[in-house]
Structure 1
């Protein structure tokens, strides 16, 4: 009797198992049976995808022990496997899928089989897109962008400050290079503050996992390209932040890194190909005893991208060298790496409904790949925008990276925007230098005159400072008037404007200029127990409150000024310590004046007759006072003056 019971039990187990296996494999959309969702495979990336893209190809990275010896099958209408690629590591497969234009959203299982008894199943989903591609609108010259280092902005959820499974544990606000606890919820809970200042877009530095031993609070040493760092929050909270910004008519810009990853990235422990990262042989041979002397560092000679005389050696050292010893340089010439990066960017755009991408260290990756990357994104989202970081004070280099620029080597970046470090540098120099021939305000005037080199000046991103340079207040030696002059000029010229958090309250790095940890100081009021709260104004000094008010007036005016967004520009060569610039569109004209005279000065207006303002009434944006434009305008103090015909 016991023998019969054992046989019956074994038969029942086999029958149930057989039915389950059959259910896993019977996955056509015509089936009435619900899909059995399984996740036998350790990792599949992208984790899901969408229907309706112009590019109907999708490549899946599959990571699992021994998966390289398995075959793969999919039975789902509209989805076919075109090719299965093995890698140098036996623990990877790359599946080339074809997603038909008529495929329906749904779930299906990928069946991996080695023989009749060795099978793995992985459920995959194609989602329906929530928006039309043309409705994805990128940031533009009508936007003012608020840049945030999330770890240093606000800690609204102390429960996510530390995780045992991560390398760096705990927070230490006394250490400028440790984590301080700021998070996504901290940004989301202060959207109203940012909006009331007049900003229309938010750019947080990277929020993806940086599971490094130390010093990765900044987010640029990514160790998982599809996971939000749990110390910042969850994927759902990231999406909620995007939705909250959207509901406030604001955009979310994602900071991405195509050049390098963090040394603790999961694939560094088992690299799929022998050329997955550059100088991989140095790492493979020495990873057990890794040090800064072993790594081949980038030369940072970014001009090799354009230099017609550059040697192959210099080009390779620049492009292939690691940015720092803890950031392996990704090899975008590997076609699987190239597809991985492109698909990752598109995945985040679609998932978060992004309003733009800021691409870190733009000149460092393979430049032909970067053109392909930007082109693939803009093909799917024709109204999107990407800004690339080209840290150069040479407008020739800045212009080279903007799409449509007629470069002598025929290169087209497909990149709509790049960053104007040249203008930033000249504004600081022009405000600090005395008014002698060729210096002072003339430096600023000439810098703007260089706009003839740019295909579309309006798309260039300008800024007073950012997370990698001294605060503008520090650069201008703590001079509040000069700081206001820099900000007002930057906000009115034909550009897209970006400002770093805390500039509105005169944050600075006086104690150690240029120190990154100090530049990224905690925003006061972002932590429970802060003695000063800049969000509410509690215990904030008078001069800082006044600067906050100044920024609010400036940015809110800019938000509503069509002349600044898309108007024509006319400026007049500086004379007698003054520089006049105007923007005009239809019935709106704005006039911006930089005045470096310490004593009251009468500015004769007949020189500016081309503006057609004689006899018209203009309002001072900052004071609300009105003037009649006629004969002479008295400038009572040094500083910036901003007038508008919109009363």
Structure 2
């Protein structure tokens, strides 16, 4: 019996159908298995197979209670709801009956690990390193193209094609990431994207329970997480609940029309998700924004369908339990139904109290973004239960501030002072995800000229890693990779030099990093390692004052320790007025983090142009 169970699980993992006594074919079982002793004992099991609805369905198992069997418009689906509150770990049986024939499908309820619910999420003590797996490193060339998967072109010269990066390539570079000093890696989607083109980015999922075989297997993903954990690094998984890929079996053979918005027919979204919070929005404007499709090949899920909701919630819990991931980044969060997404956040965090979720909240003001953070007064009495939101306005400001002259009433670093002074709109500013760029934006260095500006780089990295919030870095920032979105998304997602055996240069190797690249890498690594375990930066209070003479200063403090960060936001040497900044400056000597020297700031009258000091005391 065990061999039969293992065979069925293996076939499902490969996406193969399971013939049972030649009378019914099970194409998909989602999820493939579950666990006993979950806090929420309710389980939805989705069965997909030809004419499966013509069978009478029962379950047999110790303590397993069958609550409901739901048939859909399509005869190829049956949705089973069971209660496992009294069920121990076991292999229960799902019985399909037709006439005198009975077909039994073994379904495993695994024993849960004792500490599974205590998985630790990411927070302000972490720095996330964002990786697009297809563009980082190719560790296994045998999976570059896989039989049964759409032959999306493998062409490294084409920014829209697959390049061959995979999970093993990332695993082989974990020592590099550890030496750099990051504490968490966030991966763009790694689930199956069996799409004929553009599948490299991962945002058109075709099977939510399978890793794309061109990246590796489910076990490969779990091993990557385990290897990261052994180095003290966390892993954040990208998920997409707003839409899937048009070749997802749930769309290609829809359970029912109401699994997708507009009955599964393409209607383009307006992208105006502000309608969710706009008190004056018309119903039609709100509907097209939320129910419209992101693009024509990404059908929009109807999260108001209770079966869709259960499927999506369980999928995220399954990956947490199976792989031990430490966080989820939810793509296009405001495009989905507010109430369903709130229930999802709540369900995940009830099962895993220490877990964290960050929603992609790409809106143009702090007021609009604050609406989406849990306990927002602006959304009350509704509550998103979403702990972390992405600080896109700060990203936009930082991409301008270090190029401008800072005045006492505007420009340059005054923009940052002015923006941070409005943090009262956020329920929890320390739980904002802060970043200079990501896979959808121009890189912080848009061109080689900006990449060679070390003052600009030094100030930006110093601020990102010391200001309030949870910092996120985009792969390649540490080696000054430039890109402008005007040249297409492929440019933003270029291959990391050295990730492929045929690369002419390997910037994973310290021996091949030279000049400005080596200097940038050392600066980044020095700050990242200093930040590790630094309670002042992770939890300390934040105080600042309006810029004066082009200088901007803020202070982080916790009990008897503090860090003061001083910026000269101009192209000229500036005088430091000690009396104006007195409350934010150390009284005596302090260690300057970037140089390691001990200095007394009161002995300094002038600060060089575009300089930054990080004083620890």
1:257 counterpart = 2:231? no
Q: How many residues align?
A: 596
Note if contact 1:38-1:123 (Cα within 8 Å) is conserved in structure 2.
no
Distance in 2 between residues matched to 1:428 and 1:157, nearest whole Å: 37
Note if contact 1:427-1:444 (Cα within 8 Å) is conserved in structure 2.
yes
Q: Tell me the residue number matched to 1:108.
A: 92
Inter-CA distance 281–228: structure 2 relative to 1 (3 Å threshold): closer
Q: Tell me the residue number matched to 1:423.
A: 394
1:480 counterpart = 2:451? no
Structure 2 unaligned segments of length 5 or more: list them: 6-17
Note if contact 2:330-2:359 (Cα within 8 Å) is conserved in structure 1.
yes
Give the alignment partner of residue 551 of structure 1, picking from 494, 515, 524.
Answer: 524
Inter-CA distance 633–112: structure 2 relative to 1 (3 Å threshold): farther
Give the alignment partner of residue 124 of structure 2, picking from 129, 141, 149.
Answer: 141
Q: Tell me the residue number matched to 1:3.
A: none
Give the alignment partner of residue 86 of structure 1, picking from 71, 75, 100.
Answer: 71
1:204 counterpart = 2:187? yes
Q: Secondary structure at the match of 1:499?
A: strand
Note if contact 2:564-2:584 (Cα within 8 Å) is conserved in structure 1.
no
Note if contact 1:163-1:169 (Cα within 8 Å) is conserved in structure 2.
no
Q: Tell me the residue number matched to 1:165.
A: 148
Q: CA deviation digits over 1:51-103, x for unaligned, max 9? A: 11121111110111111121122221111111111100011101110112x42
Structure 1 unaligned segments of length 5 or more: list them: 1-19, 25-36, 283-294
Distance in 1 between residues matched to 2:608 and 2:42, nearest whole Å: 65
1:455 counterpart = 2:427? yes
Give the alignment partner of residue 151 of structure 1, picking from 131, 134, 141.
Answer: 134
Distance in 1 between residues matched to 2:129 and 2:400, nearest whole Å: 24
Distance in 1 between residues matched to 2:169 and 2:605, nearest whole Å: 46
Distance in 2 between residues matched to 1:524 and 1:152, nearest whole Å: 10
Q: CA deviation digits over 1:302-358, x for unaligned, max 9? A: 110001111111011001100001100011111111100000010001111111000
Inter-CA distance 38–123: structure 2 relative to 1 (3 Å threshold): farther
Distance in 2 between residues matched to 1:235 and 1:559, nearest whole Å: 30
Note if contact 1:38-1:121 (Cα within 8 Å) is conserved in structure 2.
no
Distance in 2 between residues matched to 1:596 and 1:609, nearest whole Å: 19
Q: Which moved more, 1:496-505 or 1:550-559?
A: 550-559
Bigger radius of gyration among the two: 1
Q: Tell me the residue number matched to 2:438.
A: 466
Note if contact 1:41-1:121 (Cα within 8 Å) is conserved in structure 2.
no
Inter-CA distance 435–370: structure 2 relative to 1 (3 Å threshold): same
Q: Tell me the residue number matched to 1:325.
A: 296
Inter-CA distance 373–519: structure 2 relative to 1 (3 Å threshold): same
Q: Secondary structure at the match of 1:337?
A: helix
Give the alignment partner of residue 48 of structure 1, picking from 18, 33, 43.
Answer: 33
Inter-CA distance 589–473: structure 2 relative to 1 (3 Å threshold): same
Distance in 2 between residues matched to 1:252 and 1:131, nearest whole Å: 20
Q: Which moved more, 1:211-220 or 1:423-432?
A: 423-432
Note if contact 2:459-2:612 (Cα within 8 Å) is conserved in structure 1.
yes
Q: Tell me the residue number matched to 1:542.
A: 515
1:247 counterpart = 2:230? yes
Shift of 1:601: 3.4
Distance in 2 between residues matched to 1:134 and 1:225, nearest whole Å: 22
Q: Tell me the residue number matched to 2:11.
A: none
Distance in 1 between residues matched to 2:158 and 2:552, nearest whole Å: 43
Distance in 2 between residues matched to 1:148 and 1:266, nearest whole Å: 27
1:269 counterpart = 2:242? no
Q: TM-score, normalised by structure 1?
A: 0.89
Q: Tell me the residue number matched to 1:13.
A: none
Distance in 2 between residues matched to 1:360 and 1:107, nearest whole Å: 35
Distance in 1 between residues matched to 2:539 and 2:605, nearest whole Å: 27
Note if contact 2:551-2:568 (Cα within 8 Å) is conserved in structure 1.
yes
Note if contact 1:188-1:244 (Cα within 8 Å) is conserved in structure 2.
yes
Distance in 2 between residues matched to 1:463 and 1:500, nearest whole Å: 8
Q: Secondary structure at the match of 1:573?
A: coil
1:372 counterpart = 2:343? yes
1:441 counterpart = 2:413? yes
Distance in 2 between residues matched to 1:561 and 1:603, nearest whole Å: 27
Shift of 1:541: 3.5
Inter-CA distance 446–379: structure 2 relative to 1 (3 Å threshold): same
1:509 counterpart = 2:483? yes
Give the alignment partner of residue 349 of structure 1, picking from 299, 315, 320.
Answer: 320
Give the alignment partner of residue 468 of structure 2, picking from 484, 494, 502.
Answer: 494
Q: TM-score, normalised by structure 2?
A: 0.93
Q: Secondary structure at the match of 1:604?
A: coil
Q: CA deviation digits over 1:555-585, x for unaligned, max 9? A: 1111132100000111121111110011011
Note if contact 2:566-2:613 (Cα within 8 Å) is conserved in structure 1.
yes
Shift of 1:133: 5.0
Note if contact 1:606-1:631 (Cα within 8 Å) is conserved in structure 2.
no
Distance in 1 between residues matched to 2:81 and 2:487, nearest whole Å: 47
Inter-CA distance 281–193: structure 2 relative to 1 (3 Å threshold): closer
Shift of 1:538: 4.4
Note if contact 1:58-1:99 (Cα within 8 Å) is conserved in structure 2.
yes
Q: Secondary structure at the match of 1:60?
A: strand
Q: Secondary structure at the match of 1:330?
A: coil
Q: Secondary structure at the match of 2:427?
A: coil
